[in-house]
Amino acid sequence: MTNQTIDPVGIDQSPDPAAQRRAQLAALIPEAFSEGQLDVSALKRALGGEALIEGGERYALTWAGKANAYKVLQTPSRATLRPQRDLSVNFDEAQHVFIEGENLEVLKVLQKAYFGKVKLIYIDPPYNTGSDSFIYPDRFQESKEDYLRRINDLSDDGILMREGFFRKNSKESGHYHSNWLSMMLPRLYIARNLLRDDGVIFVSCDDNEVHNLRCLMNEVFGEDCFAGQIPVVNNLKGRNDRKYIATAHEYLLMYAKPDFESLGLPLTSKQVGEYKQEDEAGLKFQWRDLRKRGGADTKALRPKLHFPVHVDPDTGDCAMDRSEKYSVEVRPTKGDDTDGCWRWGYSKVKQSVSALRGAKVEGKERWNISYRVYLEADGKMRVSKPKSVWFGPELSTDAATKALKGLIPEVADFTPKPVDLLKAIIHQSMEEDDLAIDFFSGSCTFAQAMLELNQAEDVNRSFICAQLPESIDAQSALGLAGFTSIAQLGRTRIVRVIEAMKGSADLATPATGVQGFKSFLLSPSNFKQWRGDGIDTPEQLAEQMLMFAKSEKQGAAVEHMLYELLLKFGQELTTPVEPLDVAGGKVYAIHGRKMLFVLEAFTDAMIQPLVALKPREIIAIDGVFQDCDPLKTNLDLQCRDAGIKFTCL
- Provide the pLDDT confidence category of residue 220 given band limits of 50, 70 and 90: very high
pLDDT of residue 9: 41
- Provide the pLDDT confidence category of residue 549 given band limits of 50, 70 and 90: low
The alpha-carbon radius of gyration of the chain (Å, integer) is 31
- Whether residue 232 contacts residue 252, with contact meaning beta carbons closer than 8 Å, is answered with yes
- Provide the pLDDT confidence category of residue 530 given band limits of 50, 70 and 90: low
Helix (H, G, I), strand (E, B) or coil at 182: helix
Tell me how far CA of residue 231 lies from CA of 1, 51, 201, 248, 389, in angstroms.
56, 36, 16, 9, 5
pLDDT digits 0-9 by tens, 615-632: 999 999 988 988 888 999
Tell me how far CA of residue 1 lies from CA of 4, 591, 636, in angstroms.
10, 20, 11
The total number of residues written for the chain in this structure:
649
* Bridge partner residues of 226 (DSSP): 255
- Provide the pLDDT confidence category of residue 188 given band limits of 50, 70 and 90: very high
- Whether residue 597 contacts residue 587, with contact meaning beta carbons closer than 8 Å, is answered with yes
List helix spans (H) across 435-504.
Answer: 445-457, 477-480, 486-502
- Whether residue 142 contacts residue 150, with contact meaning beta carbons closer than 8 Å, is answered with yes
- Provide the pLDDT confidence category of residue 238 given band limits of 50, 70 and 90: confident
pLDDT of residue 326: 96
Average pLDDT over residues 39-60: 71
pLDDT of residue 546: 55
pLDDT digits 0-9 by tens, 483-527: 999 999 999 999 999 999 887 545 555 444 457 999 999 999 998
pLDDT of residue 43: 79
Domain range summary for the chain, segments of one domain joined by +:
80-128+191-264+385-524, 269-380, 538-648
Q: Give pTM, 2 decimals.
A: 0.83
Average pLDDT over residues 309-335: 95
Range from 92-101, 283-292, 475-484 carrying the lowest mean pLDDT: 475-484
Which has more pLDDT, 154 or 628?
Answer: 628
- Provide the pLDDT confidence category of residue 158 given band limits of 50, 70 and 90: low
Cβ within 8 Å of residue 92, ≥6 positions away: 576, 577
Mean pLDDT of the chain: 86
Average pLDDT over residues 108-117: 96
**Given a cut of 80, is residue 261 above it in pLDDT?**
yes
Average pLDDT over residues 320-344: 93
CB atoms inside a 10 Å sphere around CB 317: 16
Which has more pLDDT, 99 or 504?
Answer: 99
- Whether residue 362 contacts residue 372, with contact meaning beta carbons closer than 8 Å, is answered with no
Q: What class, spelled out in words, does domain 80-128+191-264+385-524 have in CATH?
A: alpha beta
**Given a cut of 50, is residue 446 above it in pLDDT?**
yes
pLDDT of residue 554: 84
The secondary structure of 301-331, three-state, reads CCHHHCCCEEECCCCCCEECCCCCCCCEEEC
pLDDT of residue 169: 61
Average pLDDT over residues 530-543: 58
Distance of CA 547 to the CA centre of its chain: 40
pLDDT of residue 93: 93
**Given a cut of 80, is residue 357 above it in pLDDT?**
yes
Helix (H, G, I), strand (E, B) or coil at 132: coil
